[in-house]
Amino acid sequence: MDKSIIDKYEMVIGLEVHAQLQTNSKAYCADGTEFGLSPNVQVSPISLGHPGTLPVMNERSLVYAIKMGIATNCTINKYNAFARKNYFYADLPKGYQITQHTTPICTDGKIKIKVNGEEKYIGITRIHLEEDAGKSIHDIDPFNSLIDLNRAGVPLIEIVSEPDLRSADDAYEYLTYIRKLVRYLDICDGNMEEGSLRCDCNISVRLKGAEKFGTKVEVKNMNSIRNVKRAIEYEMYRQIEMVEKGEWIEMQTRSFNAADGSTFDMRSKEAANDYRYFPEPDLPPVILTDEFIAEAKAEMPALPEELINRFKTEFGLSEYDANVLADEKEIAHYYLQLISFQKNYKSAANWLMVSIKGYLNEKAISISEFPVEAKKISELIDAIDGNKISNTVASQKIFPALIENPTANILDLAKELNVLQESDASAIEELVKQAIAKYPEKVTEYKNGKTSLQGLFVGEVMKLSKGKAEPKIVNQLVNKHLSE
Ligand code: ADP
Ligand code: MG
Q: 3-state SS of the chain?
A: CCHHHHCCEEEEEEEEEEEECCCCECCCCCCECCCCCCCCCCCCCCCCCCCCCCCCCCHHHHHHHHHHHHHCCCEECCEECCEEEECCCCCCCCCEEEECCCCCCEEEEEEEEEECCEEEEEEEEEEEEEECCCEEECCCCCCCCEEECCCCCCEEEEEEECCCECCHHHHHHHHHHHHHHHHHCCCCCCCCCCCCEEEEEEEEEEECCCCCCCCCEEEECCCCHHHHHHHHHHHHHHHHHHHHCCCCCCCEEEEEECCCCEEEEEEEHHHCCCCCCEECCCCCCEECCHHHHHHHHHCCCCCHHHHHHHHHHCCCCCHHHHHHHHCCHHHHHHHHHHCCCCCCHHHHHHHHHHHHHHHHHHHCCCHHHCCCCHHHHHHHHHHHHCCCCCHHHHHHHHHHHHHHCCCCCHHHHHHHCCCCCECCHHHHHHHHHHHHHHCHHHHHHHHCCCHHHHHHHHHHHHHHCCCCECHHHHHHHHHHHHCC
Give the whole-angstrom CA distance, residue 196 versus residue 189.
7
Indicate the angle between helix axes 425-438 and 454-464, nearest 10 degrees: 120
Identity at 295, one-letter amino acid code: E
User: By C-alpha distance, which of 230, 275, 304, 325 is closest to 99?
Assistant: 275
Residue 368 lies in a domain: no
Confirm or reject: Cβ of 58 under 6 Å from ligand 1. no
Residues in contact with 400: Cβ distance below 8 Å, sequence separation at least 6, in sequence order: none
CATH number at residue 439: 1.10.10.410
Give this prediction's pTM: 0.87
Q: Tell me whether residue 467 is in a domain.
A: yes
68 lies in some domain: yes
Residue 101 maps to a domain: yes
Rounded CA-CA distance 475/484 in Å is 15
Select from 174, 199, 216, 273 the residue to mutate for testing ligand 1; criterion: most ligand atoms less than 8 Å from CB.
216
Q: Cα separation of 123 and 111, whole Å?
A: 7
User: Which residues span the domain enclosing 103?
Assistant: 3-291
Domain boundary among 271, 291, 311: 291
202 CA closest ligand 1 atom index: 26
Q: Ligand 1: does its nearest atom lie under 6 Å from the Cβ of 239?
A: no
Instruction: Give the integer Cα–Cα distance in Å for 270 and 305.
Output: 42
Residue 22's contacts (CB-CB under 8 Å, 6 or more residues apart) are 33, 64, 186, 187, 188, 189
The closest residue, in CA terms, to atom 17 on ligand 1 is 14
CA neighbours closer than 13 Å in the CB half-sphere of residue 429: 5
Question: Exposed/middle/buried for 244, CB within 10 Å: 0-12, 13-18, 19+?
Answer: middle
Q: Which of 202, 217, 243 to mutate to test the pocket of ligand 1 (most atoms within 8 A of CB)?
A: 202
pLDDT 10s digits, 449-458: 888 888 998 9
pLDDT at 482: 86
- Domain-embedded: residue 361: no
Q: What separation in Å is there between the alpha carbon of 165 and the centre of ligand 2?
A: 16
Distance in angstroms (rounded) separating the CA atoms of residues 309 and 47: 45
* Closest-lying ligand 1 atom to the alpha carbon of residue 15: 14
Asked if residues 225 and 192 have their Cβ atoms less than 8 Å apart, the reply is: yes
Query: Does residue 204 line the site of ligand 1, with CB under 6 A?
Result: yes
Interatomic CA distance for residues 405 and 421, integer angstroms: 21
- Domain-located, residue 307: no
Domain contains 24: yes
pLDDT tens digit sequence for 337-368: 999 999 999 999 999 999 999 999 999 999 99
CB of 167 closer than 8 Å to CB of 174: no
Atom of ligand 1 nearest to the CA of 163: 16
Q: Is the CB of 272 under 6 A from ligand 1?
A: no
Name the closest ligand to CA 269. 1
Q: Which amino acid is at 476?
A: Q
Boundary (domain end) residue, out of 291, 313, 329 = 291
As a whole number of angstroms, the distance between CA 411 and CA 417 comes to 10
Number of domains in the chain: 2
- The pLDDT value given to residue 70: 98
Question: Residue 205's beta-bridge partner residues?
Answer: 11
Ligand 1 center to residue 154 CA distance, Å? 25
Question: Does residue 400 fall inside a structural domain?
Answer: no
Task: Kindly report the backbone phi and psi dihedral angles of residue 75, in degrees, each rounded to the nearest multiple of 5, phi listed first.
Answer: -80, 135
Ligand 2 centroid from CA 279, angstroms:
18
Among candidate residues 273, 291, 309, the one where a domain is terminated: 291
What is the CA(108)–ligand 1 centre distance, in A? 15
With a 6 Å cutoff on the Cβ, whether 151 touches ligand 1 is no
161 Cβ inside 6 Å of ligand 1 = yes
| Same-domain pairing of 285 and 430 | no
Cα–Cα dist 5/10, whole Å? 11
Contacts of 141 (CB under 8 A, 6+ apart): none
Give the whole-angstrom CA distance, residue 176 versus residue 320.
17
State the burial class of residue 28 (Cβ atoms within 10 Å of its Cβ: 0-12, 13-18, 19+): buried
Q: Which residues of the chain have pLDDT under 70?
A: 269-273
